Amino acid sequence: MSECAAERGRMAGLLLLCAASALLLAAVGAIPPPEEAARMARFVLHSCDWGALATLSTQEGLRGRPFANIFSISDGPPGPLGGSGVPYLYLTDMEISVQDLEVNSNASLTVSLAQTPYCRRHRYDPQNPLCAHIIFVGSIVKVNDSEAVLAKKALFSRHPEMESWPKDHDWFFAKFNITNIWVLDYFGGLKIVTPEEYYSVKPYGLLDAVSEVIRWEKIRVMLIWK
């Protein structure tokens, strides 16, 4: 009898371990729920290594027209802590878009989960609203020496190649100063998030993801038993 009880205990422990592992794997791939737009914006930015930066061109023949370019970005080292929410960039005056910014520092920055495994795993087209993307509007500003330390850590941890870029290009650290935020992560149109809401929310972490997976699993079970 005791051997049977011990075996049942081992089996129960194994099933619990398997369930916990499955839950953890599901949580790792989870994203914030659509009703939490500010957290979604923070999550998408932290998940992305690059974005499309649009400026107003100052180039001959394009003056005043929108000009989009790809830039490496980072709001902090990769990981579950969520980052600072500040998009940092590593720039040089030799870059064509930076020349635009020297005349007019206003810009927009778009980041999308299309560059992550999430949309590929779910087979979402980049234009599908479920493949969340965020549009930031604001201006590019050069950071001071103390903030440059944070920017360097954020960028070089994700883009180590930057450390070897030519020194004679006079690289400098800058940030995207956010004034407006639009979130498209579900059907029904864009959601507006204020910078105050954006910076005040708690970043979406693993425990939040686990809770969200459990919530949807409860809903699925309820629908099955109806």
Compute CA 2 distance to the chain's CA centroid, rounded to the nearest angstrom. Answer: 53
CATH number for the domain spanning 182: value is: 2.30.110.10
In a domain, 23, yes or no: no
User: Would you say residue 216 lies in a domain?
Assistant: no
Q: Is residue 218 part of a domain?
A: no
Total structural domains in the chain? 1
Q: Apex CA 204: angle with CA 222 and CA 127, to 5°?
A: 80
Alpha helices in 87-205 (DSSP H): 96-103, 117-122, 145-158, 195-200
Q: State yes or no: pLDDT of 44 exceeds 50.
A: yes
Q: Report the C-alpha gap between 194 and 144 in whole angstroms.
A: 25
Instruction: Report if residue 214 sits inside a domain.
Output: no
Is 73 part of any domain? yes
What is the CB neighbour count within 10 angstroms for residue 168? 8
The per-residue pLDDT of the chain, averaged, comes to: 86
Query: By residue range, what is the domain housing residue 82?
Result: 29-203
For residue 21, being part of any structural domain is answered with: no
The pLDDT-based confidence of 203 (bands split at 50, 70, 90) is confident
Average pLDDT over residues 171-193: 98
Please indicate, yes or no, if residue 220 is contained in any of the structural domains. Answer: no
Report the predicted TM-score, pTM, of the whole model to 2 decimal places.
0.80
